[in-house]
Structure 1
């Protein structure tokens, strides 16, 4: 049995943030689940990710929320 040191529990407090993480969405979610996703992003983040977004980003039913607040400088 493969050992993965990262335990993933589906929920808003758990996320992957590494190059290629979008490629693993279907390892955890079905298209039906992804069609109910809420994508929250900042202006710079969405501009940088535009060419890397998965097809799930445009599924009918998803919600897109542009966050214009302040997170951090780093």
Structure 2
């Protein structure tokens, strides 16, 4: 089974030398089908990712929403 949640990027902390960053995200609390798959009421949570690959952290934008798909890793 896969659980899909929608998270919003609240802010990005970049290192002074731009070698890495920390992306801070939390769930979008809208009444959406994605959120109902994992939270009966208002979803809550936090996600912080420390990313040291500039090509990866350049994919994130403050204020933008992202889907997180969670499934077992076999």
TM-score when normalising by structure 2: 0.19
Greater fraction of residues in helix: 1
Higher relative contact order (CA 8 A, sep 6+): 2
